[in-house]
Amino acid sequence: MTVLLLGETGTGKEVVARAIHRWSPRRSKPFVAVNSAALPEHLLENELFGHEKGSFTGAVKREPGKIEVAEGGTVFLDEIGDMPLPLQSRLLRVLQDQTFYRVGGTQPVRTNVRFIAATNKDIRRAIQQGTFREDLYYRLAVITVTLLPLRERMDDIPALAQHFLKRAVRMGIPRPCALSDRALQALQQYQWPGNIRELDNVLTRALILCPEDTLEPAHLHLSASLFPSATEAETESPPRHYHESMDDYGRKVIEGALRRNGWNQTRAAEELGLQRTYLTKLLRQKDIPGRPPKDPSSSSEEDSP
């Protein structure tokens, strides 16, 4: 059956997808991941379906796509909510008929793969806005799994923290560090806008930079200023829509990081535990300017004769 994974960025959707594959009868076959937002439409089409020789300039031989490569296994379609509409139509045909055509091909190719898709978008809202096909949604959502953000599952933090600390040592950190009770308490009081991915980043960085044998709150560099105080949170009016509230919250977090780092996007991305390219994408999505706002007084002086 196809599976649709829902949840914010960094909640571990690909980890869950790999676990589903690993525990399934298809585990001896390939697991192939495709990021639906990483490539423009024509390149994503070629990535998925492959091409025939001579189908375009530079196509000197037939090349299989990721669906063919995963034959008998699992294709993981990450960020499916960003897939262009024309490709959604082609994917729907594959799900319905288990056949597809390579780019430039005239012969149908039969396939036997299981699809797992993931997105951090509100798909039902995207359907209403006309950016996602409703029929494709129902084909993908045979089984739906929603991954809660880390701030709603704080009891998981002790186990996750121990896992990341042990894994960092296995990956080459020269010496292990214990996590003090105060540091663990600090981790459980933080709101984790970047979810589990941010937790991994914070602990790995602390291990590298900590000169002691025990991690204390100061080694974690958690910025309480990213989040409103309890008093401010109580006085704010309740949001009309969950996703609208989270979009606004994410915008405030990113703008705060940019201001603290003098609008240096590389340093802001490091503080937030994000890839530089992903931060650039978020700036476009949320319509956040990448430069400091102009000083009105200076602009008026420039305009004056």
* pLDDT (average), residues 70-94: 95
Residue 238 pLDDT > 70: no
Query: 121: burial class by Cβ within 10 Å (0-12, 13-18, 19+)?
Result: middle
Cβ contact 224:215 at 8 Å: no
* pLDDT (average), residues 208-232: 71
Amino acid at 8: E
The neighbouring-strand residues paired with 214 are 178
- Nearest 5°: CA angle at 13, between 96 and 198? 155
- Nearest 5°: CA angle at 267, between 264 and 273? 135
Q: What's the length of the chain?
A: 305
Cα Dmax for the chain: 76
Going along the chain from its start, the domains and CATH numbers come out as 3-146 (3.40.50.300), 150-222 (1.10.8.60), 230-285 (1.10.10)
Per-residue pLDDT tens for 46-71?
999 999 888 888 888 889 999 999 99
Helix (H) or strand (E) holding 3: strand 3-6
Per-residue pLDDT tens for 101-130?
999 988 999 999 999 999 999 999 999 999
Q: Which residue stretches of 56-147 are H helix?
A: 66-69, 85-97, 123-129, 134-140
Amino acid at 69: V
- Confidence at residue 236, expressed as pLDDT on a 0 to 100 scale: 47
In 3D, which of 121, 129, 180 has the Cα closest to residue 146? 121
